[in-house]
Amino acid sequence: MEAFWGTLQNSFERVFIVDDRWTLLARGLGLTLLITLLAALLGLVLGFLIAIVRSTHDKMTGLKPVPRAVLNLFNGIAKLYLTVIRGTPVVVQLMIIYFVVFGAVNISKVLVAVIAFGINSGAYVAEIVRSGIMSIERGQMEAGRSLGFSYAQTMVRVILPQAFKNVLPSLGNEIIVLLKETSVSGYIALEDLAKGGDIIRSVTYMAFMPLIVVALVYLTVVIFLSHLVTRLERRLRASDH
C-alpha cells in the first residue's frame, strides 16, 4: 500500500511538478476556452445568417426577379456550405484552412483555429436556428407583416427572439460539442489542453496520469456548462407564459 502511494506521488511529481509541467495544462485549458469562446461567437453569427437565408428562401413568395435570383444564389451557397462542412471531419477542415487556405500567409494559429471551428460550428448552429425559426407559427410572421413591418423587421422583432429562446438549450449543447472538438487543435501545433497532456506524456513516458487528468478537466468543464444549460432551460420554462 505504502509502495503504491509512493509510486503515485512519484509519478505525480514527474508529471506535474518537475519543470512546472502543470503549466502546460493550465495554459492549454486557457487556450481551449479561448478558442471555444471565439469560435462559438463566430459560429453563432454565421449560423444565424445561414438560417435566415435558408428559411427566407423557403418561405418568401411574391419577390421581383432580381431579389429572387440573389436569394437563390445565397441559398445555393448556404446549402453547399452545410453539405461540405457537415460531411467532412472537423480535423480535416482545420488542416485545410491552416495548410491550404492560409498556407502561404503568416497568420496566428489561434486565429486559424477560431476561424475553422467557427465555420464548422456555424453549420450546426444554422440547422438548430432554422428549426427554431420553422417552429414559430406562420401567424406570427403574418401578424407582423399585416401591421406594416417588413419581412426583415418582423424577423428581427418577432420571429428571431422567439426562435432564439426556443433553441437556447440546443445552442448550449452545440457549444459543449464545440469545446470537445477543439481538442484536435494539436494538429496545427496549437498547445491546447489535449495537446498539453500529450506533450507531458511524451516527455515523461507516462501516459496514464496526464491523459486521465486531461479527461477529468474536460469532463469538469462540460459538466459545468451542462449545468448552466439545464439552469437556463429551467429559467426559460418558468418564464414561459
Partner 1 sequence: MTIDDRNPQNESMQSENILIRVKDLEKRFGDLTALSEVNIDIHRGEVVVIIGPSGSGKSTFLRALNMLEDPTAGAVYFNGVNLADLSVNINIHRQKMGMVFQHFNLFPHMTILKNMTAAPIALLKKSRAEAEADAMRLLTRVGLAEKAHEYPAMLSGGQKQRVAIVRALAMNPDVMLFDEPTSALDPEMVGEVLEVMRDLAREGMTMVIVTHEMGFAREVGSRIVFMDEGRIVEEAAPEVFFTTPRRERIAQFLRKIL
Binding site for partner 1 (CB under 8 A): 61-64, 137, 139-140, 142-150, 153, 157-158, 161-162, 165, 240-241
How many Å apart are CA 110 and CA 88, to the nearest integer? 21
Shortest reach from residue 41's CB to partner 1, in Å: 23
Identity of the residue, 168 or 211, whose beta carbon is nearer to partner 1 in the bound complex: 168
Alpha-carbon Rg for the chain, nearest whole angstrom, is 23
Cα angle: 127, vertex 39, 78; to 5 degrees: 35
Identity of the residue, 35 or 163, whose beta carbon is nearer to partner 1 in the bound complex: 163
Shortest reach from residue 236's CB to partner 1, in Å: 11
How many Å apart are CA 147 and CA 231, to the nearest integer? 36
How many Å apart are CA 32 and CA 13, to the nearest integer? 24
Identity of the residue, 162 or 204, whose beta carbon is nearer to partner 1 in the bound complex: 162
Shortest reach from residue 153's CB to partner 1, in Å: 7
How many Å apart are CA 121 and CA 123, to the nearest integer? 5
Shortest reach from residue 165's CB to partner 1, in Å: 7
Shortest reach from residue 229's CB to partner 1, in Å: 20
The total of other beta-carbon atoms located within 10 Å of residue 72's CB is 12
Shortest reach from residue 143's CB to partner 1, in Å: 4
Identity of the residue, 104 or 138, whose beta carbon is nearer to partner 1 in the bound complex: 138
C-alpha cell at position 47: 449560423
User: On the CB side of 7, how many CA atoms lie within 13 Å of its CA?
Assistant: 7
Identity of the residue, 150 or 226, whose beta carbon is nearer to partner 1 in the bound complex: 150
CB 206 within 8 Å of CB 11:
yes
User: On the CB side of 173, how many CA atoms lie within 13 Å of its CA?
Assistant: 8
Identity of the residue, 20 or 241, whose beta carbon is nearer to partner 1 in the bound complex: 241
